[in-house]
């Protein structure tokens, strides 16, 4: 399905990003993915994914480095902005430093990657960002910065879809509900509560998100752009 395509995935060493790397490589894409603090995990993902998947170290808090990494790619058909961070901070204890940390990785790195990608991606290319259902609603206290960052990428996506549409480049955001990763483990403190909030009484898996990303990346996604697609077990139903 993705034979001959080249993909760049941020945060591919663990969790959802690792599943996206495996899925895109299995579909035939040549995948380069980034890691930051998990080199051993990144190596294992590259080996498991096969098809020549390559890991490169990149701190997404450094927007200049992100721009340089995308600019240096020899070819780019599919950009997947997956990496993200999450910190809880209610308004009483929140700091501007925490805001800057969250927005640097969840928003500024995405902007840096897309501005460079738009220069080199061919007609018909794909830009996909992993947002969150918290880009639409915040069903718990302390999530303002995270939700703000995910709402920002949702609206940036719609704007970029308009900018790049005439070239056939699609730009979409995938918005997961709870997914079983280190960031939000199913057996963690919120796992049972979150499962109970879904319609399916099912905690999501990284592969659920990877399937949706691969669909958007492939030919079947050609008429979808500016969309925010939810995979959340019906949590927002
Ligand atoms: N899990 C959920 O329930 C859930 C729900 C909705 C949305 N999401 C979104 O899904 C995306 C992936 O989340 P996840 O659950 O898979 O998270 P995860 O298991 O914590 O993995 C995060 C990935 O991002 C990378 N990363 C984090 N900070 C980085 C930085 N400063 N520089 C470079 N890489 C960095 C990590 O790389 P290293 O380990 O190598 O540093 C890792 O590969 C995020 O955007 C998150 O907001 C997750």
Q: Which residue's alpha carbon is at the smallest distance from atom 23 of ligand 1? A: 11
The stretch 94-120 carries a mean pLDDT of 98
Residue 204 C-beta-side C-alpha neighbours within 13 Å: 31
Q: How far apart are CA 176 and CA 29, in angstroms?
A: 23
Report how far residue 84's alpha carbon sits from residue 230's, in angstroms, rounded to the nearest whole number. Answer: 17
pLDDT, position 102: 97
Residues 208-234 as b/e (b if ≥16 CB within 10 A, e otherwise) read bbbebbbbbbbeebeeebbbbbbbbbe
146 is catalytic: yes
CA of 84 to the centre of ligand 1 (A): 4
Q: What is the pLDDT of residues 175-209, one digit of tens each?
A: 999 999 999 999 999 999 999 999 999 999 999 99
Which is the closest atom of ligand 1 to the Cα of 183?
Answer: 20
| CA dist list (Å): 219 to 5, 20, 26 | 11, 17, 16
Mean model confidence pLDDT for the chain: 98
Maximal CA-CA distance, the chain:
51
Residue in 228, 26, 46, 65 with CA at minimum distance from that of residue 132: 228
Report the separation in Å between the CA atom of 131 and the middle of ligand 1, taken as the mean of its atom positions: 11
- Report the CATH number of the 6-231 domain: 3.40.50.720
Considering 8, 33, 146, 203, which one is annotated as catalytic?
146
pLDDT tens digits, 200-236: 999 999 999 999 999 999 999 999 999 999 999 999 9
Residue with tokens 């990496």: 83
Question: Sorting pLDDT into bands at 50, 70 and 90, what band is 152?
Answer: very high
Residue 61 CA: nearest ligand 1 atom is: 31
3-state secondary structure 141-177: CCCHHHHHHHHHHHHHHHHHHHHHHHHCCEEEEEEEC
Contact 201, 177 (CB under 8 A): no
pTM across the whole model? 0.98
Would you say the CB of residue 176 lies under 6 angstroms from ligand 1?
yes
CB 176 within 8 A of CB 236: no
Which pLDDT belongs to residue 28? 98
Confidence of residue 133 (pLDDT cuts 50, 70, 90): very high
Total length of the chain: 237
Q: How far is the CA of 167 from the centre of ligand 1 (A)?
A: 30
Which pLDDT does position 31 carry in this prediction? Answer: 98
Question: What is the reported pLDDT for 44?
Answer: 98
Ligand 1 center to 120 CA (angstroms): 25
| Per-residue model confidence (pLDDT) at position 48 | 98
Radius of gyration (Cα) for the chain, nearest Å? 17
Q: Does the beta carbon of 84 lie inside 6 Å of ligand 1? A: yes
| Percent of the chain whose pLDDT exceeds 90 | 100
Q: What is the pLDDT of residues 72-83, one digit of tens each?
A: 999 999 999 999
């Amino acid at each position: 399905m993705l034979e001959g395509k080249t993909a760049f995935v941020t945060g591919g060493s663990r969790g959802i990003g690792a599943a996206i790397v495996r899925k895109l490589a299995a579909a035939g894409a040549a995948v380069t993915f980034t890691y930051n603090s998990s080199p051993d995990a990144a190596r294992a993902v590259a080996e498991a994914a096969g098809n020549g998947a390559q890991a490169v170290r990149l701190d997404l808090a450094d927007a200049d480095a992100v721009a340089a990494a995308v600019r240096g790619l020899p070819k780019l058909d599919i950009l997947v902005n997956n990496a993200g961070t999450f910190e809880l901070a209610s308004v009483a204890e929140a700091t501007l430093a925490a805001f800057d940390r969250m927005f640097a990785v969840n928003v500024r790195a995405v902007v840096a990657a897309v501005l460079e990608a738009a220069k080199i991606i061919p007609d018909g290319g794909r830009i996909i960002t992993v947002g969150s259902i918290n880009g639409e609603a915040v069903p718990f206290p302390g999530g303002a910065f995270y939700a703000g960052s995910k709402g920002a990428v949702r609206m940036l996506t719609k704007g970029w879809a308009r900018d790049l549409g005439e070239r056939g480049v699609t730009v979409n955001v995938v918005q997961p509900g709870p997914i079983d990763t280190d960031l939000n483990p199913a057996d963690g403190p919120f796992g049972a509560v979150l499962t109970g909030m879904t319609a399916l009484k099912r905690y999501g898996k990284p592969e659920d998100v990877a399937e949706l990303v691969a669909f958007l990346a492939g030919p079947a996604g050609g008429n979808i752009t500016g969309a925010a697609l939810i995979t959340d077990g019906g949590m927002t139903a």
